Amino acid sequence: MSAPAPRATARPEANLSPLQAVWLVAEREIGGKLRSKSFLISTAILLLLALAGVLWGGFQAGSTEATPVAATSGVASDVRGLSGIEVTEVADRAEAEELLADGTVEAAVLDDADSPTGMRVLAETEAPGSLLSQLSLSPTVELLDADGASEGPLRYLLGIIFGVVFMMSAVTFGSPITMSVIEEKQTRVVEILISAIPARALLAGKVLGNTILAIGQIVLLAAVAVIGLITTGQTTILQGLGAPIVWFAVFFLFGFLLLAAMFAAAGSLVSRQEDAGPTLQPVMWLTMIPYFLVLFVGENPVAMAIMSYVPFSAPVAMPIRLFFGEAAWWEPLLSMAIMLASCLAVVVLGARIYENSLLRMGARVKLADALRG
């Protein structure tokens, strides 16, 4: 059983104001990360992967590989008018078969007076679908909801982008807060720290420093995405993503503050890194659940509307609804108000848990004991 300890309410001996104390700890957190080669390398790799993904998607959408096709003179002009078809004109069937045999072309279109279309297609094993679809006659198709036809894949893609960015940033910058708190308890460095800095200032500094780093990474990712979209000419997507990205950044800021306070509180409950699993697991689930929910129920409007008002999933669900015009102008404001109230409540509770558990060494502190003090 852990030995109870008085609440860590010592005041700084130096002439530091509360804001100065918070910023001192925040600078320590930021400096430690920026001096870490592993952090810098992983950030550079993440940015390169994001840029490569945007560029590859743009080039794939813009590049259309032409299908090589042979055609006799009587039908060559008609075949040349087809999209994505590269025509090699031949004199007769024998020459077309030679090109098919050596793999120069994938199909041949010949004159055929007996065919209803006046053409005959030759191929080795299978005729190219892109050629047949353009030569075939099909009825006129009218879509009543043309915009909704492509929403499914795009909604899924946006869910992956917003969900992965939120989850990975929260894990990348949140879990180190837990490990840092445990390490300071395990080495008893925390006893020295709180003799000069109040426990709440120490907590606030850790949260602030990692929040600045997380927001900085989000800004870099957004800049890389904009550069990639402009380079590949995907300006239409860029215009549509403008407002959702801004709202995502705002929701991410307060969502991360909420999670960071929980990560710090989880670390203060234990004195060894080996014991961090049970306390860290609930926070990890709250970080990952929004990502999976958006993937599984992203096309359900009722589920997405509910998730837009839940603090842990709002940073992902609300920007997607804004992108597709499903949210009224007042909905993100109401969701943000709920987020702010939840963030304040969780930060206050997290600070209480952190302050009451920081000096308790030995066995894991029970949550009820940490709340009582």
Q: Is 14 helix (H, G, I), strand (E, B) or coil?
A: coil
157 and 238, same domain (yes or no): yes
Q: Domain residues for 205? A: 18-35+150-372
- Looking at the structure, tell me whether residues 185 and 121 fall in a common domain: no
Q: Please say which residue of 86, 111, 135 terminates a domain.
A: 135
Domain annotation covers residue 49: no
Q: In this structure, is residue 4 part of a structural domain?
A: no
- Residue 88 pLDDT more than 80? yes
Asked whether residue 140 is assigned to any structural domain, the reply reads no
Give pLDDT tens digits for 189-206. Answer: 888 888 888 888 888 899
Residue percentage of the chain with pLDDT more than 90? 9
How is residue 187 written in tokens? 């080495």
Q: Are 287 and 174 in contact (CB under 8 A)?
A: yes
CATH number at residue 128: 3.40.190.10
* 113 and 155 fall within a common domain: no
More confident residue, 236 or 48: 48
Bridge-partner residues for 71, per DSSP?
A: 89, 109
Instruction: Report pLDDT digits (tens) over 65-77.
Output: 678 888 888 888 8
Between 149 and 114, the higher pLDDT residue: 114
- Name the pLDDT band for 308 (thresholds 50, 70, 90): very high
Same domain? For 108 and 225 the reply is no
Instruction: Give the pTM.
Output: 0.69
Q: Do 257 and 179 share a structural domain?
A: yes
Helices (H), 324-373: 331-357, 367-372
Residue 48 CB-density burial (10 A; 0-12 exposed, 13-18 middle, 19+ buried):
exposed
Question: Does residue 46 fall inside a structural domain?
Answer: no
C-alpha–C-alpha distance, residues 244 and 242, integer Å: 6
Residue 27 — very low, low, confident or very high, per pLDDT cuts 50/70/90? very high
Q: Is 335 helix (H, G, I), strand (E, B) or coil?
A: helix
Predicted pLDDT of residue 307: 92
Instruction: Please check whether residues 112 and 200 belong to one and the same domain.
Output: no
pLDDT of residue 333: 93
Q: Please report which confidence band the pLDDT of residue 9 belongs to, taking 50, 70 and 90 as the band edges.
A: very low
23, 213 in Cβ contact below 8 A? Answer: no
Identify the burial level of 290 via C-beta atoms within 10 angstroms of its C-beta, where 0-12 means exposed, 13-18 middle and 19 or more buried.
buried
Cα 348 from Cα 371, distance rounded (Å): 11
- Of the listed ranges 38-52, 69-83, 230-244, 290-304, the one predicted with least confidence: 230-244
Q: What sign does the CA torsion over 345, 350, 351, 355 have? A: positive
**pLDDT confidence bin for 240, thresholds 50/70/90:** low
What is the rounded average pLDDT of the residues 37-42?
A: 87
Q: Mean pLDDT over residues 213-231, rounded?
A: 84
Asked whether residue 47 is assigned to any structural domain, the reply reads: no
Instruction: Mark whether 183 and 279 lie in a shared domain.
Output: yes
- CA atoms within 13 Å, Cβ hemisphere of 290: 32
Answer yes or no: are the C-beta atoms of 32 and 205 closer than 8 Å: no
Q: What per-residue confidence (pLDDT) applies to 332?
A: 92
Identify whether residues 165 and 79 lie together within a single domain: no
Same domain for 248 and 305, yes or no, is yes
Domain stops at, among 109, 135, 161: 135
Same structural domain, 192 and 318: yes
Is there a single domain that holds both residue 94 and residue 29?
Answer: no
Mean pLDDT of 299-305: 89
Domain assignment present for residue 45? The answer is no
At 97-127, the pLDDT tens digits run 888 888 888 888 888 877 777 788 888 878 7
The count of structural domains within the chain is 2
DSSP E strand stretches across the chain = 67-72, 85-90, 107-111, 119-122
Q: Strand 85-90's sheet: what is its strand order?
A: 85-90, 67-72, 107-111, 119-122
End residue of a domain, out of 88, 108, 135? 135
Q: Are residues 292 and 361 in the same domain?
A: yes
Q: Tell me whether residue 192 is in a domain.
A: yes
Q: Give me the pLDDT at residue 8, please.
A: 43
CA separation for the pair 189, 198 (Å, rounded): 14
